[in-house]
Structure 1
């Protein structure tokens, strides 16, 4: 279901027909090692691998028409793909590269020049590596399938974008699935789930839930997992409150377990948050916690996040509680380790906006008036909390360990221009 894309890149080295062969070979020898460290593999026009992004390494001037010839020919096969050019500091490589990219943009295309000042230009090669990673993530997202099981929850008035908006802005395809496909499986899934998970055994303490409620939660997990397999989903979001109202059970364990397995799962049919979770997982290779921003202290620059589910791989231990709002089923009261975190949120009418903030997770709480897993975060920049109140993007935030605001913002800028 979640297949990793090919990484690295291929490059065609182009030079003028009148260029000295010895000079060309010397340039190739000088730069081939550093390009290889970035994942580069030299190819030629006849052996291009469609699974890898293509770069044009402009060795000399006088190459403009040849590059444009390849670009136009590939356009018939691959569409209007971005044109990535590697330039260096001699043999008129840079002016030729500028001319090529100028023409690409004149005809409505996109592209970028990566400039290597010399064969040991670590900053230049870092930018190539970063862009190759971004290209890989972009392709993975474009090949991802997010299942929307049921509709978005009624209260998500700012978080229910159309499928085509998601596809255009961030890449994934949305697969709409009737919630009845979950509910009609619950009986058989209960039999399937018996004794298989360690959900109960892994808990430090069990408070409200009865044995039967824990079993029902495991049943929900297997029913959703079967649907993920059936529709070949990389990710999903479920209208989970209907399970509470109609089935008197919860999807909190299912969401937690699926995330632990790498099937990125969001609550409440919130596709905006689920896309953000999938983006963070692909880009940073870490799990994400989706939660409600429940309390803010501007004076202390703190924010409390809370939700009744959390990936168990993100927590040090957990208790089994009831679902907060309903008192039914099972919720997870997890303890999140202290440390550096990044909060972020996608949003806007066309999902064109990104809010980020960095801070320190300084503790967990057990407030009886909030969802079960609760974390207090000291935000570095109090203005970020002011911004959250003045220009919110929606009711859920996403948390990931580490400092990643710059990376998220750079990725967003990259896809907007590529």
Structure 2
């Protein structure tokens, strides 16, 4: 197991006073692991030098040892590598106090982190991470993209994980490289297979196809595992929405979220990567004592569907997808927290006063679930709720299972 190691000392401390402790620590660790690094840092500048010298992305785990207090500000920077981390603290020089602070910083960013104060504990924690790497790797190595901006009404959006930012200006450059002919070809089969077509005409479908092709090129060039897009910002310039494109990507197994929300995208990615099941991101549109209605204008095109316009704007191409009945999970992520409920997909509704795809799920005590949830957008997936909750816990979320 390859382990990257870094020590931290305050700028007020004398490095020579810690040389023996550092040497003994590295010697002991190297008996059982392939140790790289071993830097003694006292500033962010030192961190940058260490980063240039050793590629911590290639280690299996990282050990951070704050030898003194006052080291949190630069040791926390190791979160960018998104590697399982063991923080080592000892009872002297405010080492443990610093370690606790660093551990929580990492956990808030969903980097698996453990605090220990003995060498045997350290080695056991590293071996435990080695055993769980197969599960953790797809989560820690994911590449998510945000095209445009997070929609301003998502007032509870909080996302501390690294992601790739692609401006709408860049998106429009990709869009201009597409043609009407290619855009129509991309969606022609979807047009022909729809059970019903109401508002969209060929021009609207062609624009939707060009949006799809532009995003497809972005995914390839930026090597994205999934993306979300600030969709409403496209309406003014293109008089179109990406609803159909997102539906097509989600049908292909590429997580695609709307309104620029990264938390929902993360939930969609987790379901796709670990369960290989379709996912639906929707608004809570209605509820009763034993049901919740989830609605949005995009959903994976895997079942019978109608082509509609986007609900709020009346433009573009939205989809009304018929979801099959069956057991599923309804869940919400925000930051480090998650709420999960087992539900039963009961059917679909088709109100003209809601987003186009409307899925009704049965849930025990819906008002209690909504009282404890973390925001509006929820993810619906045909997966077992207990299995999902267990996975989320293993990935570092604090889970409330209903």
Q: Could you list the runs of 5+ residues in structure 1 that have no partner in the other structure? A: 1-47, 51-65, 84-100, 115-130, 167-172
CA distance in 2, matches of 1:416, 1:195: 43
Aligned to 1:406: 386
Q: RMSD value over aligned CA atoms?
A: 2.8
CA distance in 1, matches of 2:199, 2:120: 62
Check if 1:254 corresponds to 2:245: yes
Question: Where do 1:366-405 residues align within 5 Å?
Answer: 366-379=350-363, 381-382=364-365, 385-403=366-384, 405=385
Check if 1:340 corresponds to 2:319: no
Please state whether the residue corresponding to 2:145 is helix, strand or coil. strand
CA distance in 1, matches of 2:299, 2:148: 21
Q: Displacement of 1:394 after TM fit?
A: 1.5
Among 147, 167, 184, the residue aligned to 1:149: 147
Q: Displacement of 1:250 after TM fit?
A: 0.8
Aligned to 2:175: 186
Q: Could you list the runs of 5+ residues in structure 2 that have no partner in the other structure? A: 4-26, 38-58, 64-83, 87-115, 398-402
Please state whether the residue corresponding to 1:416 is helix, strand or coil. coil
Aligned to 1:308: 297
CA distance in 1, matches of 2:373, 2:191: 37
Change (3 A) 1:183 1:363: same
Change (3 A) 1:103 1:413: farther
Q: Displacement of 1:262 after TM fit?
A: 2.6
Question: Where do 1:194-343 residues align within 5 Å?
Answer: 194-197=184-187, 198-298=189-289, 301-313=290-302, 316-343=303-330
Contact kept in structure 2, 1:291 and 1:307, CA below 8 Å: yes
Residues 117-148 of structure 1 show CA distances to partners (whole Å, capped at 9, x for unaligned) of xxxxxxxxxxxxxx96x632421122211111
Please state whether the residue corresponding to 2:185 is helix, strand or coil. coil
Among 110, 127, 132, the residue aligned to 2:125: 110
Aligned to 1:4: none
CA distance in 1, matches of 2:368, 2:151: 25
Q: Displacement of 1:82 after TM fit?
A: 7.3
Contact kept in structure 1, 2:185 and 2:209, CA below 8 Å: no
Aligned to 1:58: none
CA distance in 2, matches of 1:259, 1:107: 41
Q: Displacement of 1:73 after TM fit?
A: 3.6
CA distance in 2, matches of 1:416, 1:374: 32
Aligned to 2:340: 356
CA distance in 1, matches of 2:374, 2:352: 27
Please state whether the residue corresponding to 1:274 is helix, strand or coil. helix
Contact kept in structure 2, 1:362 and 1:377, CA below 8 Å: yes
Contact kept in structure 1, 2:323 and 2:359, CA below 8 Å: yes
Contact kept in structure 2, 1:104 and 1:110, CA below 8 Å: no
Aligned length: 301
Contact kept in structure 2, 1:82 and 1:110, CA below 8 Å: no
Q: Displacement of 1:228 after TM fit?
A: 1.0
Query: TM-score normalized by structure 1?
Result: 0.66
Please state whether the residue corresponding to 1:329 is helix, strand or coil. coil
Contact kept in structure 2, 1:341 and 1:358, CA below 8 Å: yes
Please state whether the residue corresponding to 1:253 is helix, strand or coil. helix
Query: TM-score normalized by structure 2?
Result: 0.68
Q: Displacement of 1:280 after TM fit?
A: 1.3
CA distance in 2, matches of 1:82, 1:180: 38
CA distance in 2, matches of 1:108, 1:154: 46
CA distance in 2, matches of 1:201, 1:176: 35
Please state whether the residue corresponding to 2:314 is helix, strand or coil. coil
Aligned to 2:109: none
Contact kept in structure 2, 1:160 and 1:270, CA below 8 Å: no
Q: Displacement of 1:387 after TM fit?
A: 3.6
Contact kept in structure 2, 1:259 and 1:311, CA below 8 Å: yes
Change (3 A) 1:113 1:222: closer
Q: Displacement of 1:109 after TM fit?
A: 7.0
Change (3 A) 1:243 1:160: farther
Residues 55-93 of structure 1 show CA distances to partners (whole Å, capped at 9, x for unaligned) of xxxxxxxxxxx996544444656433579xxxxxxxxxx
Q: Displacement of 1:102 after TM fit?
A: 9.1
